[in-house]
Amino acid sequence: MVVTEALLSEHKMNILRLVVNGKMDREIADELHLSVDTIKTHVKQILHTLGAANRTQATALALKWGLVPPWDVEEPKKNAGWSET
């Protein structure tokens, strides 16, 4: 099954983009000025629409199907507590 953007509202597409970028519910809620419970509800609905079992699978599907283009994915931030070897 391929999902098009038409199946997700603009609002849910924005939340999906933030999920793909590794944002947690609290971070998304803060950025969009919504409650964490509202974000959790939206994420559950997005997972259901995509047929994804979890956020990781939703991310993979969103990238595979072009719902979130690769150039819209942020570089992961380096954790100050980790050392590179």
- Tens digits of residue pLDDT in 34-77: 999 999 999 999 999 999 999 999 999 999 999 988 777 776 66
Give pLDDT, residue 70.
78
- According to CATH, the topology of domain 8-66 is Arc Repressor Mutant, subunit A (1.10.10)
Q: What residues does each domain of the chain span? A: 8-66
pTM: 0.80
Amino acid making up residue 70: P
